[in-house]
Amino acid sequence: MKQNLIRYSTNIVLGLMLIGFGFGVSSTYNQYRGTELSRLPQIEGINLVNSQANADSSSRGSSLALLNVGKPSAGVSEMAIGNPSTTNPARSTNELKLYPAIEKGMRTPFDLWRYYGRGPSSFTSPVLPMRFEQWLEFHRKQKPKLMSDVWKYMESRFEFSGEAIPGQTMSGGRKPIMQGPVAVVPNGISTFEALTELTPEEIRKRDLFPYKPLAHPLQSNAHMLFPEVWLAAHPEHRRIDVDLDIPNEYLPEFPPPLFLTTHKELGDVTNGLEITIDNYYEIFDGLLTPEQMEGLKELLRPSPTTWFNHTSHRVTESPSKGVACMDCHVNGHTNGAIELAPDSRPNLARLRVDTPTMRGNYNLMQLSSKRSIRSMDHFSEVEEYFDGDPGMQQAIGPRAVKREVTNRMADFNAIIDFPPAPKLDALNRLIPSLATESELRGEALFHGKAKCAQCHNGPAFVDDYMHDLKVERFYVGRPEGPIKTFALRGIKDSPPYLHDGRCPTLHDTVEFFNLVLELKLTKQEKEDLVAFMLVL
């Protein structure tokens, strides 16, 4: 009798504790949602030089506890933390801030380049901070305001006019190529040409650099974020928490054509269709070897991922089968989906990355933006479906793909070709009789004054090295370090540009490098460079 009473009392206490915990989590989220803190944590008075900085976080809640990491490394400003604005980066020009400890689902700053530090752990958990029905309701309420602020922020940085370059389309012939530049010229500066007259130090001091990094619009959850054209065909991937922040006009055509090195005579072997697990056999039977067919099937087979899966740890309303390689690399190219590079922690430090094309991978030796992955079979094997966290595999389920299967995935990848470039000869130089005067001038600039060929050379227009452009010379921000050079063959089909899409058009890319490399190109020279890249 006494033992039963003790057991009964213990169960009551445990039950009350669980109820209290759930109420505390819910209360914290309700207190956070819709406040200034939900837009950007505002933490003042902490000196980064002092590794034992003692912030009184009790008045702001445990979700904003600071992670003290000691003195910043060389190049990081040793200044006090300020109070910047998400929509007005110019308010803070001389300081970096420690990452706030933000829970899953909570809004994150759009200017994450201003932050540095380490997380509480390298490991994450497959457990949500609340029950799934609360998680769903929380995002239903947060998402509309979040996306409204996302678009206001993007409109403060870019003028997405939707204006196309006359007569220019992507390789499928269906989608126009956008005119640029669309980055907003900073206040007080009349033109990009005027901006290039300033030194990097002046641009940094006055906070005038127009091509600062882009973060994931909800980096606390992050993960794959698909464009609207994909979601119209695949509504199972629509997220409850956030949408992509790039307009469709500035993304690759959908579905893109697929060109094979083994059947160049056929052109687009898909005839304008999206390759799926349901139609791949009909499209490719008689064109591929059995081994290549097996590899293609695996590239199309969905697998559970960190946030797209069958468990309650997900960002879709209904459970899903997961995501396949070709859900982002659609038809062996890209649909413009974004992710976070898996090679760093905390989540807030990871770089936003666009989905790169798989075209021409047979000629590449660098297959990851930050990691030195040197073969397609290796890349197929280690593709980070679980954000580099094996602990998530144990909870959600591993991909369980054998080495022989990843080799076959790479075998199909190895025959995906670049699109045709009829104005280039066998050594990738312009055929004068087919080229315009502007294209010929652009080629001369590419190999000369503009310095493009120093990194973009050879049959794929890429040197297979990683380079550190040291862009932080132009703005106060965390150094991003070396990032691989991307191939320029077929580049007109792969907007937006740079690893994180901060350059929506080819014109923006030229403006970016004109600034960063201090090239002093004229307006006509920039147009000629774009004209040349359109024929690659």
Provide mean pLDDT across the span 342-349.
Answer: 90
Q: At residue 326, what is the residue type? A: M
Q: Give the tokens for residue 318.
A: 């209904």
What is the model's pLDDT at position 17?
A: 54
- Could you tell me which residue, 407 or 376, shows the higher pLDDT? 407
Q: Would 263 be classed as within a structural domain? A: yes
Q: Give the tokens for residue 475.
A: 């703005």
**What is the four-CA torsion angle of 337, 343, 348, 353, rounded to 10 degrees?**
-20
pLDDT-derived band at 392, boundaries 50, 70, 90: confident
Residues in CB range of 180: below 8 A, 6 or more apart: 504, 505, 506, 507, 508, 511
What is the model's pLDDT at position 342?
A: 85
Q: Would 301 be classed as within a structural domain? A: yes
Q: Would 46 be classed as within a structural domain? A: no
pLDDT-derived band at 67, boundaries 50, 70, 90: very low
Q: Are residues 325 and 381 in the same domain?
A: yes
Q: Are residues 374 and 464 in the same domain?
A: no
pLDDT-derived band at 308, boundaries 50, 70, 90: very high
Q: Are residues 350 and 362 in the same domain?
A: yes
Lowest mean pLDDT among 51-65, 355-369, 492-506: 51-65
Q: Would 126 be classed as within a structural domain? A: no
What is the model's pLDDT at position 91?
A: 41
Q: Would 37 be classed as within a structural domain? A: no
What is the model's pLDDT at position 232?
A: 98
Q: Are residues 397 and 508 in the same domain?
A: no
What is the model's pLDDT at position 403?
A: 80
Q: Are residues 204 and 240 in the same domain?
A: no
Q: How many domains does the chain have?
A: 3
Task: Write the DSSP symbol of residue 73.
Answer: P
Q: Are residues 513 and 398 in the same domain?
A: no
Q: Would 142 be classed as within a structural domain? A: no
Residue bearing tokens 């033109």: 191
Q: Quick count: other Cβ atoms within 10 Å of Cβ 151?
A: 15
CA atoms 474, 480, 486, 490: torsion sign? negative
- Could you tell me which residue, 371 or 82, shows the higher pLDDT? 371
Q: Are residues 260 and 183 in the same domain?
A: no
- Residue 298 sits at φ, ψ, to 5 deg, of -70, -35
Q: Are residues 323 and 436 in the same domain?
A: no
Residue bearing tokens 């976070």: 340
Q: Are residues 457 and 374 in the same domain?
A: no
Residue bearing tokens 């099937």: 297
Range of the domain at 170: 166-210+421-533
Q: Would 119 be classed as within a structural domain? A: no
Q: Are 466 and 483 in contact (CB under 8 A)?
A: yes
Could you give the 3-state DSSP secondary structure of residue 239? coil
Provide mean pLDDT across the span 468-477.
Answer: 96
Whether the pLDDT of residue 377 is over 80: the answer is no
Whether the pLDDT of residue 439 is over 80: the answer is yes
Q: Are residues 339 and 261 in the same domain?
A: yes
What is the model's pLDDT at position 383?
A: 62
- From 389, 417, 445, the end of a domain falls on 417
Cα→Cα distances 508→184, 261, 334, 355, 505, Å: 10, 31, 20, 19, 5
- Residue 193 sits at φ, ψ, to 5 deg, of -60, -40
Provide mean pLDDT across the span 517-533.
Answer: 98
| pTM for this prediction | 0.83
Q: What is the pLDDT of residues 297-306, one digit of tens each?
A: 999 999 899 9
Q: Give the tokens for residue 307.
A: 């946030």
Please report, for the domain that includes residue 176, its CATH number: 1.10.760.10
Q: How far apart (Å, rounded) are the C-alpha atoms in residues 181 and 278?
A: 40
Which contiguous run of DSSP H or E holds residue 293? Answer: helix 290-300
Q: How far apart (Å, rounded) are the C-alpha atoms in residues 463 and 135?
A: 46
Q: What is the pLDDT of residues 1-25, one digit of tens each?
A: 555 555 656 566 555 655 554 555 4
- Residue 434 sits at φ, ψ, to 5 deg, of -105, -15
What is the model's pLDDT at position 297?
A: 97
Q: Quick count: other Cβ atoms within 10 Å of Cβ 44?
A: 10
Q: What is the pLDDT of residues 114-163, one digit of tens each?
A: 999 988 888 888 999 999 999 999 999 999 999 999 999 999 999 999 99
Q: Would 53 be classed as within a structural domain? A: no
- From 360, 394, 417, the end of a domain falls on 417
Q: Are residues 359 and 466 in the same domain?
A: no
Q: Are residues 281 and 362 in the same domain?
A: yes
Q: Which residues pair with 85 in a beta bridge?
A: 88
What is the model's pLDDT at position 4?
A: 59
- From 365, 386, 417, the end of a domain falls on 417
Lowest mean pLDDT among 80-89, 196-205, 370-379: 80-89
**What is the four-CA torsion angle of 145, 150, 151, 152, rounded to 10 degrees?**
90
Whether the pLDDT of residue 452 is over 50: the answer is yes
Q: What is the mean pLDDT of the chain?
A: 85
Task: Write the DSSP symbol of residue 376.
Answer: H
Whether the pLDDT of residue 396 is over 50: the answer is yes
